[in-house]
A and B are shown apart, each in its own frame.
Chain A
């Protein structure tokens, strides 16, 4: 799916995902969890469409329920007893809520990573790191080139060896093929090195080509993300995000500040989706 957020500068993408994943792992407060979960879920569905819904229903929700079940079945703290099992163990509201909070947190972070994978392609990753370590970025790029190449070669070797009667056992055949692959690749490395040298590799002051540029919107959004991050951190420092589930559920009192905090967090988490929606509306209007 085309996404306006995915089209913005890689550094912004990175900053955003770093923020939401870090916050997602830090906050146990149900409101904060809920906001982040809702944002991650809606954005991942927007990016992945039906496939995401399928994974969600078939894999993620059962996992969540399983975590809740485990929590409720084996944790017996809490003051609100819902019912007592035949072996005398109590099932408490606190344990169930805590189970939902833990499961929700894991699920949220997982969903953010699903979005990350869709948005931050290798190109973007290389762009961000290429600026700092041009050689490292080249290394990653070369690795990405050689993995499929070597896999293909390995298949050819197996086939070729079979064609002259060296089917062999799995293990022996595999080791045999691996030794051919290594010889072949070492020989090949000489050609690669020649090709690199002949195009000036090894000269000082390597730069890194990029297809990404900062737009005004990227700058503004980055500043906004930084500002929202600062506010959320301030809220955290003020203890507004603390939550306790044992022995009883205790949350900080709702104040004007906490409402502002939730709003800021929601703005931050829903930013990609909001951006996508505005872009889509604009596009539809321009028709």
Chain B
């Protein structure tokens, strides 16, 4: 049955250049799981918002959207609220009330549902989504992953027929993201809901989706099954390649034959069939520089509260000068804390931290954050103070603003308000602000969060450039793929201490679980291959 019918939909934002949607025709049947993908600014969020009148953006519109045969605008607000559910990108700002159970009931209260029915629905949702253990908790104490599950459950309590999700996992760490997507898959399988989801990272989405719709410049560029997408990756959809699952990227990169693999498991099987067990080519390792490290931490202890357990328990590590150093680890391992302590933002109660050989406590603030260290926070909005991008850059360094804007591709955005540019652009602007203080050591807290894959590779190149200028990069990240491709050394923090520390290649090839998808696909034949490029190159060299 055709549930959603979009006919020749055009849309342009009041101040935008060109059309955000330039004639979209789509039919979505009940019970389909649709992954909507494309680069930043391709119109996928705009399209998604057109499927829910309450969220429809203002602007010039043409064409029609029908829901179950009726024009969407003619449906009353109440029906829409319950039948079409929408889950937002930022879990924190979507939660409205102070208690978990109240949030679950929020939509039901709005629709004026009687007490008995509310009770039943809240109970059902709490048990279906496993919320019981934190049912009575304040929403403020939940993790990002829990908040997003709560948002989902609170929408599901209204019993929607269609679930729209706008990059629901972009703000979550990989484990929470995988959990969330597994829940979505379960809803789809068990309840037969129609699901339309936009996402940058499709690694965990594609294996579950029935259909992929690719948007490009406001148009539908492809509309097919996930496997068929693989065949176009070398052709007209090459721009999508970086956001596809590792198995597909490698398969496409190595000109694979047969059915395109979607998961690590399928990728592994395909590789076994394709490649002869050849002598693995080892990457030559750059020897670690012997000079004095840029950051030296010795037996650092830190806790946020006198009575709370220690977050850092005797952490010792060295960040070599001029290197890209990545600190990885699970949620709550203390990664950000370690970085903030190293940057002098937090004061450990024991231990010694040196930046370029000087005790961080003895460096005056003026010197420390003007030319020695610069910190890019996780939430970059905390940095923006001005009305335009230009003023934002000039507020730090008037002379260098223009050059920095050119370097970070911000020139076209100079007169926009910092809040009106996309997440990836905000990240670039924030980085520009930090770089204008000319730090010798750059501290980055989850820099790739919410970035699309196209910009990620540009960002990696930028970090490389900085290191050739002698800047040391200390980055805290969940993004295993990004670190494998761009870091010189990696370390894993666990339980307040380092669990492992090594140059990137041996670091990842030594791990079994905490490693890149490419390594997991290829480790049985090429143990040292950790990035797609490694695997693809080895594939081409050792094909049977």
Contacts and interface: CB of A to CB of B under 8 A. Distances in A.
A binds B: yes
Interface of A: 122-123, 126, 134, 138, 141-142, 144-145, 148-149, 152-153, 156-157, 159-165, 167, 176, 179-180, 183-184, 187-188, 191-192, 194-211
B37 to A, nearest CB: 22
Contact of A203 (B86, B102, B110, B140): B110
B459 interface: no
Task: Enumerate the 6 nearest inter-chain pairs by beta-carbon distance, A residue then B residue, closest first.
Answer: A163-B375, A200-B81, A209-B105, A205-B112, A165-B369, A199-B107
Given A141-B98, A191-B90, A160 B375 contact: yes
B84 to A, nearest CB: 8
A190 to B, nearest CB: 9
A195 B95 CA distance: 8
Interface stretch (B58-66, B181-189, B377-385, B400-408): B377-385
B96 A209 contact: no
Interface stretch (B114-122, B317-325, B477-485, B488-496): B114-122
Contacts of A176: 385
A94 to B, nearest CB: 49
Contact of B381 (A184, A192, A206, A207): A184
Given A164-B375, A179-B385, A180-B385, A191 B88 contact: yes
Interface in B330-386: 340, 343, 345, 365-366, 369-370, 373-377, 379, 381-385
Interface residues of B, number: 66
A199 B106 CA distance: 8
Among B108, B109, B154, max chain A CB count under 10 A is at B109
A138 B98 CA distance: 9
A200 B92 contact: no
A165 B343 CA distance: 12
Nearest to B106: A199
B396 A164 contact: yes
Interface in B41-96: 52, 54-55, 77-78, 81-82, 85-86, 88, 90, 92-96
B437 interface: yes
Instruction: Give the interface SS of chain A, mostly helix, strand, loop or mixed.
Output: helix
B345 A163 contact: yes
Contacts of B107: 199-200
Given A148-B140, A162-B369, A165-B437, A200 B110 contact: yes
Contact of B382 (A180, A196, A200, A208): A180
Nearest to B396: A164
Contacts of B345: 159, 162-163
A195 B110 CA distance: 12
Nearest to B382: A160
B383 A164 contact: yes
Contacts of A196: 96, 106, 110
B115 A210 contact: yes
Contacts of A160: 375, 377, 379, 382-383
Contact of A204 (B105, B108, B112, B343): B112
Interface in B9-47: none
B97 A141 contact: yes
Given A206-B110, A209-B122, A163 B55 contact: no
Contacts of A206: 109-110, 112
A191 B113 CA distance: 24
Contacts of A148: 138, 140
Among B107, B155, B382, max chain A CB count under 10 A is at B382
Contact of B111 (A159, A179, A203): A203
B78 A203 contact: yes
Among A134, A167, A200, max chain B CB count under 10 A is at A200
A182 B112 CA distance: 33
B434 interface: yes
B99 interface: yes
Contacts of B365: 162, 165, 167
A194 B48 CA distance: 14
A198 B77 CA distance: 9
B208 interface: no
Contact of B82 (A167, A188, A194, A200): A200
B97 A161 contact: no
B427 interface: no
B169 interface: no
Contacts of B379: 156, 160
17 contacts: A142-B96, A145-B96, A149-B140, A152-B140, A160-B377, A163-B434, A164-B396, A187-B381, A194-B54, A194-B88, A196-B96, A199-B155, A200-B110, A202-B77, A203-B78, A209-B109, A211-B101
A145 B151 CA distance: 15
A177 to B, nearest CB: 9
A162 to B, nearest CB: 6
Nearest to A154: B382
Contacts of A156: 377, 379, 382
A123 B383 CA distance: 36
A254 B106 CA distance: 57
B449 interface: no
Given A197-B55, A206-B110, A145 B140 contact: yes
